[in-house]
Amino acid sequence: MSGVTISALIKKMNLELLTKEINTDKIKLYHPDVNRPALQLAGYYEHFDRERVQLIGVVEYTYMQRMTEEQRMENYEKLLSSEIPCIIFSTNNKPGETFLKIASKYKVPVMLSEKKTSPLMAEIIRWLNVELAPTISIHGVLVDVYGEGVLITGESGIGKSEAALELIKRGHRLVSDDVVEIRKVSDETLVGSAPDITRHFIELRGIGIIDVKTLFGVEAVKNTQAIDMVINLEDWDKDKEYDRLGLEDHYTEFLGNKIVCHNIPIRPGRNLAIIVESAAVNYRQKKMGYNAARELYNRVQQNLARRDDD
């Protein structure tokens, strides 16, 4: 895990750095959760989550204000010397000079936010969960089709980029071509994005590199997208039995999460863009409670039952 720098946290959450003498580029966060050190300020350090972002809310701040100077020195020393990565004061409650001096002594960045404690805490956790999520890179193309994240995979040269380009011309949005970075942000959700260096570019054999954002406009691209389904392109094999009904979903797995997967055989004359569009709409329909394959199966069963009755 590469970690997230305190500088990135400051920029993302619009925080004010109060200890400007500390280099926040060299301090990294490796844990997505946030701790409110109320018990620690009272002297209890059992099970202390010192690797987390420490957040001082109104309750903790009020308690700090009621301490005597001797208690402040003792409690601040103990908290700030415990190798915490940083500490944030919410609701524009500025710490005193004593706190800042001790924080500077132990090289602990102190930041200030005007946001209220609970919304700030939730926002930090949400963002860090994404930034620190387990990540893999795979070869493929990710496109937003009718709001569904469709990951197109297959061997090199099979036509993934060409299918993506046709989808873009039909009004859908490119997320990434060639390399897709996949993050596991929860046990149900995988989010895909493009590496910074290749973002908004498509490679077409025989033509070269195309800048989709410049060619088709900003409405044709997207930076991130949850991955809802996988379309795996493969060469047509006349001896292979392909699924023609789709009664049962097939899955592939990334980072322990299962994603619906369709294996699409490729042969001349098949319009890949329309196939991908249809797969996305059909998947959307299933999520809304309608399964066309199941409906056809039920009709056949009802028809057979009527024949038996006759």
Do residues 250 and 243 make contact, with C-beta atoms less than 8 angstroms apart? yes
Catalytic residue among 94, 116, 126, 139: 139
Please tell me the distance from the alpha carbon of residue 107 to that of residue 27, in angstroms, as a whole number. 10
Q: Tell me which residue has tokens 């903790």.
A: 60
Does the annotation place 158 within a ligand binding site?
yes
Do residues 55 and 88 make contact, with C-beta atoms less than 8 angstroms apart? yes
Does the annotation place 160 within a ligand binding site?
yes
Please tell me the distance from the alpha carbon of residue 40 to that of residue 292, in angstroms, as a whole number. 58
Does the annotation place 161 within a ligand binding site?
yes
The single-letter DSSP state of residue 15 is P
Does the annotation place 181 within a ligand binding site?
no
The closest of 196, 161, 155, 158 to 178, measured between CA atoms, is: 161
Do residues 117 and 58 make contact, with C-beta atoms less than 8 angstroms apart? yes
| C-alpha atoms less than 13 angstroms from C-alpha of 268 in its C-beta half-sphere | 0
The single-letter DSSP state of residue 221 is B
Catalytic residue among 12, 28, 107, 178: 178
Catalytic residue among 52, 160, 173, 184: 160
Planar angle of CA 229, 129, 27, nearest 5 degrees:
140
Q: 160 an active-site residue?
A: yes
Does the annotation place 217 within a ligand binding site?
no
Rounded to the nearest 10 degrees, the angle between the axes of helix 272-287 and helix 160-169 is 70
Catalytic residue among 244, 267, 306, 307: 244
Does the annotation place 154 within a ligand binding site?
yes
The closest of 153, 125, 121, 124 to 137, measured between CA atoms, is: 153
Secondary structure (3-state) at 145 = strand
Q: 94 an active-site residue?
A: no
Q: 139 an active-site residue?
A: yes
Does the annotation place 22 within a ligand binding site?
no
User: Quick count: other Cβ atoms within 10 Å of Cβ 121?
Assistant: 20
Planar angle of CA 155, 156, 158, nearest 5 degrees:
70
Please tell me the distance from the alpha carbon of residue 37 to that of residue 47, in angstroms, as a whole number. 11
Q: 12 an active-site residue?
A: no
Q: Binding site residues for Mg(2+), as ranges? A: 161, 203
The catalytic residue positions are 139, 160, 178, 244
Q: Binding site residues for ATP, as ranges? A: 154-161
Q: Binding site residues, as ranges? A: 154-161, 203
